[in-house]
Amino acid sequence: MNHQRNVEGLRENAQQRHEETLARAEVAIARLYQADEPITFASVSRTASVSLSWLYKQPKIRERIQYLREQQIKQRDVQSLLILPDETSDSSKDAIITALKEQVKQLRAENRELRKQLEVAYGQIRR
């Protein structure tokens, strides 16, 4: 008696589980971002119910988490500059305004990209 193994079915199932896990991670990142929560590997892992090691092994997810974490750190640095003493010079204020305008520009571009990625993730979830 020779049994046929369903290797292709196993591969398809593994691929589907992988895509679902990626989508959960993307949704978790989007939720954390929308809630203005710190985006770290640990917070994404908890929110998406995935392991830390899995997150670190996913290059695109890892890059996004690192990028967003860096952006949040920069944003906190800029916010700390907003608490200005009254004797701040006009040139300092101009430099801060320029930095803030650049950050707004970057955040708008990032927002557009994240919305596109979220649409893709929702599409994958619906499949």
- Give the pLDDT mean for 35-43: 91
Contact 30, 122 (CB under 8 A): no
Domain membership flag for residue 1:
no
pLDDT band at 51 (very low <50, low <70, confident <90, very high): very high
Alpha carbons within 13 angstroms on the beta-carbon side of residue 110 total: 18
Contact 99, 78 (CB under 8 A): yes
Number of structural domains the chain divides into: 1
Domain membership flag for residue 108:
yes
Write down the pLDDT at residue 82.
Answer: 64
Domain membership flag for residue 2:
no
Token pair, residue 78, equals 């800029």
Domain membership flag for residue 109:
yes
